[in-house]
Structure 1
Amino acid sequence: MKKKIISMVTVLALTATMLVPVAAFAATTNTSVGAIRTVAGTSTNINLADLRIDEGVMGNFADGDVIALTLPSGVKFNSAPVVTFTGSGKADFDTAATNASVKSVTSRVYNITIKTTGAARTDKAAMQIGLNVDITSAGTGDIAVNVAAPGTAITEGDVVVGRFVSGNGTVSVLTTPTKGGSAEFGMIRIVENAIGALDQDETIKIKLPNGYTWNNPVAPSATDTLAIAVVSGDGERTLELKVTNESTSRPAMIDIKTPISVSTDAGKGDITASFSGTAGLSDEVVVGTYADYGVSTTAKDAKEVTAGKDDQRVAEIVIEEGIANSLIPGRTITFTLPEGARFRSYTDTDGNVVNELPKLKVVSGDNGMFGGSSTLAGALSNSGRTMTYTLANTSSASAMEIEFNDPDVDIAANFAGELEIEVGGTAGATGDFVVADVKPLVTLESEPTDIKVGVQNQKVGDIIITEGAKEALEEKSEIVLSAPADVTFSTVPTVEVIEGNLEIDGVSKSGGTITIKVDTEGTKPSVIKVSGLAVTANRAVPEGEIKVSVKGSAVMQNAIETGSSYAFANVTNAGSVVVANVVTPAPDGVGGGQVVEFVLGNKAYTVDGVEKEMDVAAYVQNDRTMLPVRFVADALGVSNDNIIWNEATSQVTIIKDNRVAQMTIGSNILTINGTRITMDTTAVIKDGRTMLPIRFVGQALGATIGWNEATSTVTVSR
């Protein structure tokens, strides 16, 4: 029975021993204290980082424990390591006795024997050991002291207390400003790689490129005990500096100002300073850029957009100053779209003006010309085509890069090709830049037939309508095919979708128009075939091409976007295609006795009793009835091909049979086959339309003009 009790006690004792926390056996933690000392080469009396050994648990340090400290090759002790005990349990140790026990084994190895006071331990402690060394041979990488303490609870291994570095210092430039002449450029900073890396009396030479000289340089500022003086360099390319006192506590930083004179033969571009001298610095750094006043304007990659649609993003335009104030403060920068495009501003169905206009944005540089803001709003003019931005009358401290940001535009249905923005104004930015490639919303194809005038129900070419992209033709919209004057459709054609999945909801005919209703959009580009087309051309139709134009809300979607009338009033269609050629024209001088009547103030007019409509009403100027050139030509039996507009001279030419009439906008001279006639009024442009006096032009081309005072009606007979 006693044996069993003894056995059980033994087991419990062993079990209790196993349950002692693992932390009780934790070894010490060995670390370095303070900044890791950097060493650039051989030197003496160098204080490396202190070695610190912390007890993991009280009792890791025992009286008589020996710690061997070994330095790497090329490093030796200058003096004996100095031990200090810290922590709550520091009073448990005899510091003086411990330091007295420090013994040199070799120049690289010291043994330290721990001495306690002999009293009971009270708490954990730490040893901090100061390491003063000589560097006899420069190496690379870390300098580690090896800790060895066999038979103790002290952790063994290497602890990094220093680091070899190459070179005496690192050279950088804090800023690299762009200047237009003599000025102070970027501050140069030299950071020592180690304490005392730059020795007393060593020199630093900084050489500038041809055409650049130092202008009254001042002594650099430095940290710690380092001091630098100017030896020479004023008015010369090379500045020579001299170390008059070394750093002693930590690696120093040196800041060197760069007052530089620029001569007339100095090359433009980066200013590179080259280092030499006995201090061992051999860097090359760019301290700034010398540039002319100037403005560079570019466009980002052009975007692909679609004709006949609103709210389309085009490419941003970037304006960069060569140096600060290349753009003139207080002046303007303008951005102008061509005819057929406008910036986003419209009146919605509730009568509210909606502005979605681009702003100028500062990308980099000083924003003084923006009044301290990062963006600048502009003013819209020129029928929505021009944005004008006025810069603040404040100089900039640094060159700006600005961006014509988020330009959204509306594009007319008949616009095609490259969309350019013209940059101008008085601030100094100029140029024409392609910002978009405008693709047609639809394209038209046909194989024209030959027809004769005065014959009814003549077959013309089928029309193929191809979407430029999926969902280009919007649902619940209309495609309208329109024949030219004096041509009417004889039949309702067959309309079918031959590619894609767009759906059609009916076709109708009325005089010279065919209306196709789009029911739903397609999920991929669709192709529509219009076949079985037949027309009747009256005797007034001239010899030549018969073109059918395409219009309607499906292809002129600006009207849909604004919810009101079509936004580009002078655009009547989105394109046209030749469906027939007239091979037998009306007899010379014969117009079938056609009579055309116009009523002042009314857009409606009649041709042989059939009512038609103009896009602008007739009006009176100097007691003369003025009509748009297209409808003057219609009344006189002149095809569109025989109306010629010269943009450069603002001259319109109308050809009928053997007569040529010419008029210049703003002039009262009418020329008929070279003979000049003075009128009592002038041709003008009103609301974007060329307006001509019908009596003078009509009589010049052989028509009879009548006037009914009672009904305010002008009659043109031919």
Structure 2
Amino acid sequence: MLKARKRWISLLVTLAMLVAFVVPFAGPASAGAASYTAVTTIPQFDPGATNASSTWSATVQVKFDPAISGQLSEAYVEVLDSSGAQLDINGYNVLSATTVGAVYLNDGQINSPTGEVSLQPSVKKIKLGILPNNSTDPTAKATVNLKLRFDAKDCAAGDVKFNVFGSTGQFEDGQVVVARATGGAVTVALVGSVPTIGSDSTKNITFRLSESSGGALKAYTGSPSPSVKIKLPAGFKWVGASSSSGNVYAQPKSGDNRTLEIYCSSASSDRSIYDITATIAVADTDVAKYGDVVATVEGDNDTTVSPSEITVATYADYGVNVSVASVPTLIAGKYDQKTDKITIEEKIPGSLISGRRITIELPSWVKIESLTDKSTSNVDEGTNKFQWPDNAQIDYTDNKIDLYMNGLKSDKAKFEFKMKLNIEANHSGDLVATVSGAGIPETSVTLAKVVPAVTAAATASDVKIGVQDQAAPDIILTENVAGAIVKQYNEAAPTTTDGFVTKTVDGGKLSVILPDGVQFSGTPKVEVTSGDIDIKADQARVVDDPGYKRAFEIPIKSESLKASTIKISGIKLTLDRTVPEGPLTVKVIGNAVVENSGSADYEFTTDKATEFVLANCVTPAPGEQKGTAVFKIGETKYTVNGKEVTMDVAPVAEAGRTYLPARFVANAMGVPDSNIIWDQANQTVTVIRNERIVQMKVGSNQILVNGIALTMDAAPKVVPGRVLIPFRFLAQALGAEVVWDPADPNTITLNF
């Protein structure tokens, strides 16, 4: 029975607990939380200022959410500085109360809004009571907005707080920042941009004085004395000042117009901003220095001011600043090379003289195709005003262009544009433009860096004059810019309506050209060793250049996206006897690297992209004697290496050519009589000198050199007892250099 009774008791307890959870509690609604928030800007103040004794707090909102209607909540409010010290409260202002039946202050009911009310005497704390009235809406919140005035003179620097304590009802103990004590300071800054002045101009400058707290700009007591001084460097002066506030004003210092004095007759109670406008001018051009005009800033009357220096103007001579947005790399030998944006701007207004022109001149190896992306500032454009030249008006055969200065305004004029250029081949380095005219000094600017499409290099070795099939070093061709060696090149097609324009042509080729007297003995190998250019290596060939194999031609299949290198190897050369000793210089030409070579007035005569030394030409082939022979027209005596020899007939001149028996020319070059053969039947003379076999026929303009027929502009002829041949052609065919001095036209020199 006892166990059964215990089970019933346990069951009843459990049911009672379930009922407690299921049945609602029939008591009053739960209290909403109280919060304290500063709803206006936190004021800053200088605790050292006199007016700090009447400092107003930010507006604080006290909120019960939700409010309990009819329940009076009370708490004490005190004002504490950052050290925790109590500050005397000497005024209050209850601005509003919402969903509140009554507001109590120190147990007395007050009406909201109250306006600013002084407390006499001041108190350390106030008792605040709030009676919500929201019986019709139990979920509504009650709010009261108020601020307090307190004595913060000489309080600790830092945050000032409302401290709520001794709370009853819905009030809760807590704190909120309502003000901030700072060291009072004034910041001086320029309004707007730094102006530019000239030697005979003035400029108005507006200074903005911003207080960090009310009263930071200290007022004078007694006789007026400045609170802030702004002093110009030597050579400059202030010529006047004005202000936007009656209690703050400025004027140049009496007897020292370099100093601007700013006065404050009464300090502000709240943080304030003052604008002061002063006029600057150049006092002495011999003393004033060009550049930034930096003034010193100093506080007085216990005013703390910053910064200690301020740039108030830029002093400039009349002229223009010429600049370029960037310095691109442009390719010599190409059309349509584009600069970045060029800016020409007056240093000071009036630098450019209206009605005159400025000239933009580039180096003589550049021609201006057109101007693009043109714009102006502070310039009126249109008829009878400033007008940009259109493309049809630009002389694309010239390296300079004129802009006529019309439509200039009172502010600094600015002109901005880009250029499309045509640059002569075989140039490199800075492309410098000069700007002059319209009353301005000449000014220069680097517009671009110019490079050839390719550079070429070889490790030069010796090759012998007069020797065939000699191995030569490898040639390395290096693109200076990706895509510089092209398959599709530009051809110029200017028109009278559109000015300079180009059209794209397919089939770009690059050629390596040997000097006169040097030939390729076979076809070299060509390959790409780095980068992604594509060449037609299987179509590369040695090209005959009227009978002389001097050019190795490489067709281009596609341009590179990455600057590439091309290697030419397996080179064999043949040098004839006309090649002089010294460097063997090779050219790189072709429309793949030079587009603008030609005879038109918009083209250049330079056809090479670059040149380099492939080899060094050294002494003639073994067995040959190097020497000099000198002949004189009309004289039977000649010299060989200074030794006099007598002929039985003298050289004669006819129709601009010198004639002489073949034997004396050959003998002078060391050819024995046995190697000089006359064929009477065929009227031919044959001369054999080392590996050369030269044959000439009376009356024929052909000369055979090792079986290869070449054309002469004169023919051998018979005179009584002699066959006379054209002197120069035989000598050169035998490997000699013929020198004729216009100052001594009767003397002919052979170098062999």
Same fold (TM over 0.5): yes
2:609 is matched with 574
1:621 is matched with none
> Cα distance 1:410–1:56, how it changes in 2: closer, same or farther (>3 A)?
farther
2:568 matches 1:499:
no
1:54 is matched with 63
> Cα distance 1:271–1:328, how it changes in 2: closer, same or farther (>3 A)?
farther
2:149 is matched with 132
Match of 1:86 among 73, 85, 97: 97
Residue aligned with 2:18, SS = helix
**2: CA distance, partners of 1:199 / 1:431:** 50
The equivalences for 1:243-254 within 5 A come to 243-247=264-268, 250-254=270-274
2:394 matches 1:380:
yes
1:158 is matched with 175
1:657 is matched with 739
> Cα distance 1:245–1:528, how it changes in 2: closer, same or farther (>3 A)?
closer
> Cα distance 1:64–1:659, how it changes in 2: closer, same or farther (>3 A)?
closer
2:279 is matched with 259
CA contact (8 A) 1:542 1:585 kept: no
> Cα distance 1:230–1:540, how it changes in 2: closer, same or farther (>3 A)?
closer
The equivalences for 1:99-114 within 5 A come to 99-100=108-109, 107-114=123-130
**1: CA distance, partners of 2:167 / 2:137:** 22
2:286 matches 1:286:
no
Per-residue deviation, 1:145: 1.0
Provide the aligned C-alpha RMSD in A: 5.0
Deviations 1:75-106 (A, max 9, x none): 6234354546522x23x335589544999999
The aligned amino acid for 1:38 is Q
CA contact (8 A) 1:329 1:392 kept: yes
> Cα distance 1:45–1:635, how it changes in 2: closer, same or farther (>3 A)?
farther
1:40 is matched with 46
1:277 is matched with 300
1:515 is matched with 553
**1: CA distance, partners of 2:380 / 2:31:** 71
Match of 2:424 among 412, 416, 420: 412
CA contact (8 A) 1:85 1:127 kept: yes
Q: Which moved more, 1:48-57 or 1:588-597?
A: 588-597
Per-residue deviation, 1:35: 3.3
2:187 matches 1:170:
yes
> Cα distance 1:137–1:59, how it changes in 2: closer, same or farther (>3 A)?
same
**2: CA distance, partners of 1:45 / 1:534:** 103
Deviations 1:45-66 (A, max 9, x none): 3322222112221228831433
Residue aligned with 2:609, SS = coil
The equivalences for 1:137-216 within 5 A come to 137-148=154-165, 150-175=167-192, 176-181=194-199, 183-198=202-217, 201-202=220-221, 203-204=225-226, 205-209=228-232, 210-216=234-240
1:652 is matched with none
> Cα distance 1:61–1:526, how it changes in 2: closer, same or farther (>3 A)?
farther
Per-residue deviation, 1:474: 3.9
**1: CA distance, partners of 2:197 / 2:476:** 59
CA contact (8 A) 2:469 2:574 kept: yes
2:251 matches 1:236:
no
Residue aligned with 2:171, SS = coil
Residue aligned with 1:44, SS = helix
> Cα distance 1:334–1:11, how it changes in 2: closer, same or farther (>3 A)?
farther
2:91 matches 1:71:
no
**2: CA distance, partners of 1:635 / 1:385:** 44
CA contact (8 A) 1:335 1:387 kept: yes
Per-residue deviation, 1:143: 1.6
**1: CA distance, partners of 2:420 / 2:103:** 83
Per-residue deviation, 1:39: 1.4
**2: CA distance, partners of 1:370 / 1:636:** 71
Any unmatched runs of 5+ in structure 2? Answer: 1-7, 111-116, 488-506, 621-625, 632-657, 660-693, 702-708, 714-727
**1: CA distance, partners of 2:155 / 2:382:** 58
2:504 matches 1:481:
no
> Cα distance 1:150–1:236, how it changes in 2: closer, same or farther (>3 A)?
same
Any unmatched runs of 5+ in structure 1? Answer: 346-354, 598-605, 611-633, 639-654, 661-671, 674-699, 704-718
**1: CA distance, partners of 2:36 / 2:471:** 99
CA contact (8 A) 1:213 1:235 kept: no
Residue aligned with 1:153, SS = coil
Residue aligned with 2:33, SS = coil
CA contact (8 A) 1:144 1:160 kept: yes
CA contact (8 A) 1:297 1:429 kept: no
Deviations 1:345-395 (A, max 9, x none): 4xxxxxxxxx5x345666xxx633778999966763351533433333414
**2: CA distance, partners of 1:431 / 1:49:** 60
1:690 is matched with none
TM-score (norm 2): 0.64
The aligned amino acid for 2:157 is T
1:600 is matched with none
CA contact (8 A) 2:41 2:58 kept: yes
**2: CA distance, partners of 1:300 / 1:119:** 73
**2: CA distance, partners of 1:550 / 1:659:** 32
Residue aligned with 2:275, SS = strand
Residue aligned with 1:29, SS = strand
Match of 1:525 among 558, 564, 569: 564
Per-residue deviation, 1:110: 2.2
CA contact (8 A) 1:358 1:377 kept: no
The aligned amino acid for 1:178 is T
CA contact (8 A) 1:51 1:131 kept: no
**2: CA distance, partners of 1:375 / 1:153:** 78
1:556 is matched with 594
Match of 2:18 among 11, 31, 42: 11
> Cα distance 1:443–1:104, how it changes in 2: closer, same or farther (>3 A)?
same
2:711 is matched with 608
**2: CA distance, partners of 1:120 / 1:189:** 54
Per-residue deviation, 1:314: 4.9
Per-residue deviation, 1:336: 3.0
Match of 1:334 among 354, 359, 370: 359
Residue aligned with 1:186, SS = strand
CA contact (8 A) 2:475 2:567 kept: yes
**1: CA distance, partners of 2:389 / 2:9:** 103
Residue aligned with 2:21, SS = helix
CA contact (8 A) 2:529 2:565 kept: yes
> Cα distance 1:275–1:231, how it changes in 2: closer, same or farther (>3 A)?
same
TM-score (norm 1): 0.67
**2: CA distance, partners of 1:702 / 1:441:** 44
Per-residue deviation, 1:211: 3.9
> Cα distance 1:332–1:529, how it changes in 2: closer, same or farther (>3 A)?
same
Residue aligned with 1:255, SS = strand
The aligned amino acid for 1:492 is G
